Amino acid sequence: MLPIENDTPLNVDFEGPVSHFLGLKFQITKYDDGHVDIFLSQEAATTKLIQSSGLSNDSTSTKHTPYRSGHPVDAIPMESDLPLSERQCLQNQLQTIVGSLIWLSIQTRPDIATITNIIAQYCHCPSYGHIDAAKHVIRYLKGTTSLGIQFSSHDNTNIESFVHYPVDPSQLLPLLSDANWGPQDASIPKPTDFPILLDLWKSRSISGFIIWLSAPLHWMSKR
């Protein structure tokens, strides 16, 4: 029995190690030295999104992150002359995809948080280019369906090399970033590139944070 705030006992039944919960798959590994790894993934939800988007037979993208963040999406031309019925069809399609991407991005896939936030800003008036951008993210997910989040009681040397000091796996570690001041395409344009002017609201920085407790515990990334 577990106590609650008013000291009333709460009966709880434990039916063995958790394997699935709300669409999340749990893989638990116990070691002889007492350490434990818990890996969370959403392969089933990702596969369902791939199939519902008609991309089961499409090629995949296995880049480290979806490259279409910021400027490439913002530069997609708006098709304001589309018939109302066609516009509503695009809205429904993009909103459905974005809803699935949001679910993945807030659960086990922080790597798509930025691009999901940017694409979501066009749900009210999408063009075919925005649908293509969203499908590009799905192709990236198709090439990385096995990725997820792993919590471990072991020391994490990767995060320690990133922050340059030892990390206690039992302590919260907040990290903050404010990247890309100005246009989201921060690279230096080539002399032969055609100049592209973006609206003022499209040239804002992208800010984000992550709270780390042995692994990503909570995060956010948005314009």
The string of pLDDT tens digits covering residues 151-198 is 888 877 777 777 777 877 778 888 888 776 555 455 556 677 666 666
CA distances from 106 to 112, 151, 183, 216 (A): 9, 16, 26, 11
Cross-strand partners of 218: 211
Residues 41-44: contacts with CB within 8 Å, 24+ apart? 41/108, 41/146, 41/147, 41/148, 41/149, 42/104, 42/107, 42/108, 42/109, 42/148, 43/145, 43/146
pTM of the model: 0.78
Tens-place pLDDT, residues 110-160? 999 989 999 999 999 999 999 999 999 999 999 999 999 998 888 777 777
